[in-house]
Amino acid sequence: MSEPIGEIKKSTSTHARRVIAYIVLIILSILCLFWFYILLIYSTRSNGEIQKGITFIPSTHFVENFKNLVNSSQPVFQGLRNSLIIACSSALLSTYFSTLTAYAIHVYDFKLKKFIFTFILMIMMVPTQVTVLGFIQLMTKMNLINNFIPLIVPTIAAPVTFYYLKQYMESALPLALIEAARIDGSGEIRTFNTIALPLMKPAIAVQAIFTFVSSWNNYFIPTFILKKEKMKTIPIIIAQLRSSDYLKFDMGQVYMMITLSIFPVIIVYLILSKHIVSGIAMGSVKG
Amino acid sequence: MAQNQASVAPMGKGKKSKVVRYNRWGYIFLIPFIAVFLVFNLIPLISTFYNSFFENYMAQLNHVGPNFVGFQNYKTLFADGKIWQYAGNTAIMWVMGFIPQIIVSLLLAQWFSDTRLKLKGSTFFKTVIYMPNLIMASAFSLLFFALFSDGGPINDLLMKMHILDEPFKFFSSKWATRSLVAAMNFLMWFGNTTILLMAGIMGIDVSLYEAAEVDGANSWQRFTRITLPLLKPILIYVMITSLIGGIQMFDVPQILTNGTGNPTDSTMTLIMYLNKHLYSKNYGMGGAISVVLFLLTGALSLLVYNIMYRKKDKEA
């Protein structure tokens, strides 16, 4: 007699927990999406409409705001182009060489292997900000100010990307395969490029996205490297806009500019979100 | 037997030298990483340390130094007390964001991994809550500044809903500005933490929960007696990595307050302080702050390393 009552009790408590879970999740989702919704709405409104106050209904000035921004004095499109060049090159170089580094540790056996692996794990968390002073001085000496190189090449040594790829390699790249390639007479570099790289594609894709995004969003170091107006990336231009008295500008253009710097990443993310969300947990904590 | 060994030995030797020949490539493939690390990380780190022992700044248009001053920069740094205030600001804003973050993330991770709840659309929710993590912090801050400005949409909304009678000046209030920074950090990071904790919970042996259930444990007891203790290493990992991230807090308060740390220096963080010195080309003081931050984050990194990898090494 007591058992069915227990069952019913249990199922009602599960039911109640489910309802609470849905309510909390919906509230949090609204909290996450609200800002981007408002942003999108505001980028469709003219400056006059924006001054009239808040609304949740889109207006019709999206194209007009875009055109005004193209013709404005803000070098937004130059900035987007610069950001795109730096972020794409970083993603490419960083993932290729991080895979190579992971391959070196995974496939070969050499004296300093353990030491180097431990060392990379230890420097993984040290932030770049603490060396930025020496970095700026060195780049000045090397005559690399107003050059994209200081923002692209350092991503070759990316401990986090390396660690993720190393973890993935352990399950995706059997050593027997490399052994077989050697027997077939394939050189080591060719084996890496034609056998290891293709097998690592899913993990490389995830890391390429992360590198792209962090490079695209990077603000602190580029401000010290890119001084020339036409070299500046989009976060620097946004910071400049903030330091001018921009609330008096055409706010339609301002919202359009924020939209242009945020939405490309969101769109790519939404297309690839399945891989990204399942990819985050993989490399980081499986210890 | 002896013959056997004799015949094996040369073969083994031959194989070994071949392996060594291949293993040479291990070093060759590490060259790009090591070269880039040396040039772009290690040399800058050393020269940052070196700079911290020199007086080197601009006074109006005159360049002073570089003159060797020993630990004078460090003495100045700690004597004027500003660094403590900024460390305090950073800590306060980090805690204000981290506490709700860890509570919400634990709750969500537990729900997402609870098979009994059978939540529908969990992929959708995970996608949505992770999204703010990818947003450009500077653009997000500019957006928040526009939305929360005195005549901005949020004030307008609050007045239309009759919560406010007149616009609330968010950026003139110390705690409102700090809360906005904390809220943005929360929004940007709770999705990430949720997914990490979920991976941890998924790794817990299901039979433990089944056994607890047979013994009559309710969901709260299962959570506090099984999930939390077994999740401890990952919780510590999340906390320390978040703390390291918190020490680096820059983009959000910098753009939100236009680098001023207003009102009255209450949102000035450690990296904003460093940025100020770098911007005014005071390399001595900039170096001293960098070294202090390096030691702080380095110590925390070692802690992460010990928790995550040392234990695994021992087991292996």
Contacts of B77 (CB under 8 A, 6+ apart): B83, B285, B288, B289, B292
pLDDT of B104 over the 90 cut: yes
Distance between CA atoms of residues A237 and A152, nearest Å: 19
The rounded distance, in Å, linking the Cα atoms of B56 and B58 is 7
How confident is the model at residue B12, as a pLDDT? 42
Those of residues 229-258 in B touching chain A at CB distance below 8 A are 233-234, 237, 241, 244, 247-248, 250-251, 254-255, 258
Distance (Å, whole) CA B117 – CA B99: 25
By the 8 A CB rule, do A222 and A151 touch?
A: yes
What percentage of chain B carries pLDDT values higher than 70? 91
| Domain identity same for B213 and B305 | yes
- Max CA separation in chain A (angstroms): 85
Q: How many CB atoms lie within 10 A of CB B70?
A: 10
User: What CATH number does residue B249 fall under?
Assistant: 1.10.3720.10
pLDDT band with cut points at 50, 70 and 90 for residue B171: confident
Asked whether residue B302 is domain-assigned, the answer is yes
| pLDDT confidence bin for B189, thresholds 50/70/90 | very high
The whole-chain average pLDDT of chain B stands at 85
- On whether residue B55 sits in a domain, the answer given is no
Name the residue facing A135 among B44, B147, B300 (closest C-beta): B44
Residue B17, domain member (yes or no): yes
Structure confidence at residue B240 (pLDDT):
85
* Ordered per-residue pLDDT tens for chain A, 287 residues: 444 555 556 667 788 888 999 999 999 999 999 999 989 998 888 888 887 777 888 888 888 888 888 888 778 889 999 999 999 999 999 999 999 999 999 999 888 889 999 899 888 878 888 899 999 999 999 999 999 999 999 999 999 899 889 988 988 888 889 889 988 888 889 999 999 999 998 889 888 988 998 999 999 999 999 999 899 999 999 888 888 877 677 888 888 989 999 988 888 888 887 777 777 766 554 33
- Return residues 72-101 of B near A (CB < 8 Å): none
Which pLDDT does position B1 carry in this prediction? 38
Do B108 and A219 count as a contact with CB atoms less than 8 A apart?
Answer: no
Residues paired with B68 in a beta bridge: B54
Candidates B219, B244, B213, B257; CA nearest to B307 is: B244
Gap between the Cα atoms of B227 and B221, Å rounded: 9
Chain centroid to Cα A188, Å, comes to: 31
In a domain, B147, yes or no: yes
- Same domain membership, residue B77 and residue B19: no
Is the bond preceding residue B66 a cis peptide, omega within 30 degrees?
yes
Contact status, residue B201 vs residue B227, Cβ threshold 8 Å: yes
CA dist B202 and B276 (Å) reads: 45
In whole angstroms, what is the distance from residue A131 CA to residue A123 CA?
12
Q: Is residue B252 part of a domain?
A: yes
Residue B97 has pLDDT above 70, yes or no: yes
My answer on whether B78 and B31 are in the same domain is no
Which of A121, A285, A286 has the highest number of chain B CBs within 10 A, making it the mutation to test binding with B?
A285
Residue of B106, B112, B128 to mutate for A, most A C-beta atoms under 10 A: B128
Peptide bond into A4 cis (omega under 30): no
Domain identity same for B245 and B124 = yes
Q: Is B58 part of a structural domain of the chain? A: no
Whether B22 and B111 share a structural domain: no
Collapsing DSSP to helix, strand or coil, B105 comes out as helix
Instruction: Grade residue B6 by pLDDT with cuts at 50, 70 and 90.
Output: very low
Counted domains in chain B: 2
Same domain for B253 and B150: yes
| Residue B298 and residue B235 share a domain | yes
Tell me, rounded to whole angstroms, the distance of Cα A113 from its chain centroid: 30
Q: Which of B184, B126, B139, B160 is closest to A56 using CA atoms?
A: B160
Chain B residues 274-303 with a CB less than 8 Å from chain A: 274-275, 278, 283, 286-287, 290-291, 293-294, 297-298, 300-302
Alpha-carbon distance values, B34 to A100, A189, A197, B246, B295 (Å): 12, 18, 21, 28, 22
For the segment B59-94, what is each residue's pLDDT rounded down to a tens digit?
Answer: 777 777 788 888 888 988 888 888 999 999 999 999
pLDDT tier for residue B108 given thresholds of 50, 70 and 90: very high
The single-letter DSSP state of residue B217 is -
Residue B173 lies inside a defined structural domain of this protein? yes
Angle B80-B283-B35 from CA coordinates, rounded to 5°: 130
Structure-token match 């019709």, residue found: A60
Q: Does the structure show a pLDDT above 60 at B14?
A: no
Cβ-based neighbour number of residue A168 at 10 Å: 23
pLDDT at B17 over 80: no
Query: Regarding predicted confidence, which is higher, B13 or B53?
Result: B53
Give percent of chain B above pLDDT 90: 33
Q: Is B48 on the interface with A (CB under 8 A)?
A: yes
Distance (Å) of CA A254 to CA A68, A251, B282: 10, 5, 34
> B63 in a domain, yes or no?
no
3-class SS at A14?
A: helix
Residue range of the domain that includes B18: 1-43
C-alpha span between B283 and A224 (Å, rounded): 13
To test the contact with chain A by mutation, choose from B24, B30, B51, B215 the residue with the greatest count of A C-beta atoms within 10 A, namely: B30
Taking each helix axis from N to C end, the angle separating B43-51 and A132-141, rounded to the nearest 10 degrees, works out to 110
Query: Binning pLDDT at 50, 70 and 90, where does residue B105 land?
Result: very high
Helix (H/G/I), strand (E/B), else coil: B275: helix
- B2 and B93 in a single domain? The answer is no
- Specify the pLDDT at position A126: 81
C-alpha distance from B9 to closest chain A C-alpha (Å): 21
Do B162 and B299 reside in the same domain of the chain?
yes
Do B311 and B187 sit in the same domain of this protein?
Answer: yes
Residues of B in contact with A181 (CB under 8 A): none
Q: How far is A3 from chain B (nearest CA, A)?
A: 12
Whether the predicted pLDDT of B275 surpasses 80: yes
Residue B129 touches partner A, C-beta closer than 8 Å: yes
